[in-house]
Amino acid sequence: MRLFVLATAVINLARPAESYPRRVLRPKDNVGEILKGARGRDEVVKKRYTIHTEIEPGSQGAGTELAMDVVEATNSAVTPDTKIKDEKGNEFTVGNGGGGLLLYTLLVTDTDTAEGSDTFSILALNPETDDMHGIVEKRGPSGERVPYKIKQTKGENQGKAMAQEEMDLPIPDWHCDVGQDVLEQEDIREDEETLERRLTEDEHDHGHQHEDQNLSTMEALTKTLRGIKVNPLNKPRRLEAAYNFEVELFIEIDNALISAMGSMNNAVNYVNTLVTAANTVFEKEIDTHLRVTDIVVSTLYDAATSTSQALDIMRTTYAGVHPNVDLHHALLGGIHGGGIAYIGVVCRSDYGFGLTSGLSGTFQSMGETVLWDMLAFMHEIGHNFGSKHTNEVAHYDPPIDTCGLGQCPATPGYGWSTIMSVCQGCPGAYGNIMYSFGGDYDGSGDVNDILNWPANPTLVANYDASHYSVDPNREAQRMFLHIFSRAPTGCVALSSPAPLLTPAPTLSPTSSHGIALYDSSLGAPKCSSVTTSCFSGSLLNSRGGIGGISEPNGSNTLDACTDGSTGNYHVDESVDSIKVSAVGGNIQPGAAVKIDAKVWAYSTTADFVDFFYANDATNPQWQLISTLNPSAAGANDVSAQYTLGNGSLQAVRVVIRYNGAASPCPGGAYDDVDDLAFVVGAGGGTPTAPSGPVTTPAPTKKPTAQPTKRPTRFPTPLPTPKPITTTCGAVGTYCDSSKPNNCCSGSCQSKGRYSNTCK
């Protein structure tokens, strides 16, 4: 099989765009030949270009040049492993050459640049002829969208890359249809009640698993500026690769789509174009890559007269059939324009369905209708990722916009609403919708805190008082949290070979101050270079596999110590991050070092935070630094200080425990133990004894509040290292029933979490 290279605009999450080599191409330069030459030199970085085209007569800006910043889509949605079943029933994979399939190479918008952020580009390169065609949408002088068809063919126009403006795109008659009811289990609820949920979108409510409610598909638009951070362009966001999660798609297409495309080859390339272009937003803002595992020609929906009927057929036929499929979606040329999808159903083989119909673009002559098809597809996938429409108060309170309530802005504007909106029905139509989910996680703290999700700067710039969008970054956050909730099951794990250096579910951005990466050989996050500080980012967030959000790579310890498994995220105890900082200078022997930890506490009297250090992270012998009580129930910033000893790779450990004695591995049902390893530079320091107490007494009184029910006894703990000697509990003091030896009498009577007493 022959592969075509697709050029697509993608967001670089590894480092700022200006740190990558960029080549400027003039209209006469053949893009396909230059891209091949770069591959021939075995260049390992992404190919980034500023492509200039000559604007044809009759178009806006005729006689001048149109420039676009693009980057090669190195991880296209369709891969050599994608399985194809064509209209004749032939089955083959893209990589084995079956069916004579020729896959184009894609270039997409480089949204890391100021120019790229105001443009959306999809360019397809034929790897055999080096011809190029595609669509570029620029922002006009009055803020309007101006689409240009791009074409470069040898033997035409002296081989120049040309741009021709498209005029007055008729917006397809598109709507989100009504769906059906389904019984949905609310997994996170303590009473585990089963609730009736309507699942499909528009008037249709969708069920929500894990209470993931607000995830949207493509963008977030305008916002009232309520103190939310704006993410500046060129800010590095993640490490080395573009995403940490992957959702696999089983795609059906109908003969109407193949007929419109002219061939099965073009239809497969069109699927790849839509999904790969959509990934420019999904990867950047939702940290998720969409990968197409199957493309199957289907006649199932030919007789359907509505999208809701087609969805019923899909679920009746496929529910439970493909247990390893993350989402099942149909891209149809038939039926009427519109889409339908279940909400919050990633990795659910019983309801992970949706479809987009009435597709009107073509691969062989890409125009602005391709962009609309992509937006419609992303809208429906956004429902699957957990978002309803942005005007639904029950879902977003306050609503992100009011377009669906018949309250359009007084003045049309460019790019002020999201994909999950229905603002194409307002004056300005399709131009109202911008290619963004409204924001993305900045890596600086708790993913549940909306303040850590900076708003898209272009959306902010487009906002004015007549536009109603409010805090659109809520869409991106909710979508991400839905995917994040699936991570413990492994269903959204990266395929092999993974594009990341580590499969950690959430990585923090690189920085000069040292951001840790998960080290699978150590079993914990590690900073690999000498810096002034080392920060775990969000790699330690939560505790083990507790309810709500699970800890990435839990338990994150250098030894066999494991976390307690009882409780729920940010109801019960957890260590959420650790930072080690030299007090002046670099981290080296003899330096004074401060440990800062963010912990979540249940009680100010029964919870304790212990700080430990080890001079050898590969064979840790933990030494206690200090112990303290949290100052409040809920989020706490706690710290300790000690002096670094000798050792090239050292570590610190932070423990939060419910009652019991200070130990590197307490083993309680609510206890969280997290480590952070870091490289230590050369130095002549001499190890000194840590400051702070080495013992801590048992608590003497119980808290007054009991936010959640507690088990009457703790599970049997795993074997733990010998605890550090501490004072024992006297008769009548509180104790951990899983460790009766913490009582001087050796007997702890269990009567519930807050009524265990030494006797």
The CATH class given to the 517-679 domain equals mainly beta
Q: Is the pLDDT of residue 753 over 60?
A: no
User: What pLDDT shows up at residue 505?
Assistant: 28
User: What pLDDT shows up at residue 400?
Assistant: 79
Chain-wide mean pLDDT for the chain? 75
pTM over 0.75, yes/no: no
User: What is the share, in percent, of the chain residues with pLDDT greater than 90?
Assistant: 38
**Confidence class of residue 430 from pLDDT cuts 50, 70 and 90?**
confident
Q: Which of 121-135, 322-336, 716-730 has the highest mean pLDDT?
A: 121-135
Domain boundaries, the chain: 2-79+98-165, 181-480, 517-679
Q: Which of 155-169, 284-298, 422-436 has the highest mean pLDDT?
A: 284-298
**pLDDT tens column, 351-408:** 999 999 999 889 998 988 888 899 999 999 999 999 888 788 778 888 877 777 777 7
Known active-site residue 193: no
**pLDDT tens column, 671-715:** 999 999 999 987 644 333 333 332 223 333 333 333 333 332 222
Homologous superfamily in CATH for domain 181-480: Collagenase (Catalytic Domain) (3.40.390.10)
Q: Which of 146, 127, 152 is nearest to 2 (CA)?
A: 127
User: What pLDDT shows up at residue 563?
Assistant: 95
**Confidence class of residue 175 from pLDDT cuts 50, 70 and 90?**
low
Q: Which of 474, 419, 426, 469 is nearest to 450 (CA)?
A: 474
User: Could you give the CA distance from residue 229 to residue 630 in angstroms, rounded to a whole number?
Assistant: 29
- Which residues does the annotation place in the binding site for Zn(2+)? 379, 383, 389
User: What pLDDT shows up at residue 217?
Assistant: 28
Q: What is the 3-state secondary structure (H, E, C) of 296-363?
A: EECCCCCCCCCHHHHHHHHHHHHCCCCCCCCEEEEECCCCCCEEEEECCCCCCCCCCEEEEECCCCCC
Average pLDDT estimate for 169-179: 55
60 alpha carbon, distance to own chain's centre: 38
User: What pLDDT shows up at residue 151?
Assistant: 95
**Confidence class of residue 746 from pLDDT cuts 50, 70 and 90?**
low
User: What pLDDT shows up at residue 169?
Assistant: 59
Cis preceding-peptide flag for 555 (omega within 30 of 0): yes
User: What pLDDT shows up at residue 514?
Assistant: 75
- Which residues does the annotation place in the binding site? 379, 383, 389
Amino acid (1-letter code) at residue 557: T
User: What pLDDT shows up at residue 134?
Assistant: 94
Q: Do domains 181-480 and 517-679 have the same CATH topology?
A: no
Residue 622: strand, helix, or coil: coil
Which residue is catalytic, options 252, 285, 380, 392? 380
**Confidence class of residue 246 from pLDDT cuts 50, 70 and 90?**
very high
Q: Which of 594, 570, 574 is nearest to 673 (CA)?
A: 574
DSSP state of 379: H
User: What pLDDT shows up at residue 526?
Assistant: 93
User: What pLDDT shows up at residue 687?
Assistant: 35
Q: Which residues of 5-21 are buried (b: 16+ CB within 10 A; e: fewer)?
A: bbbbbbbbbbbebeebe
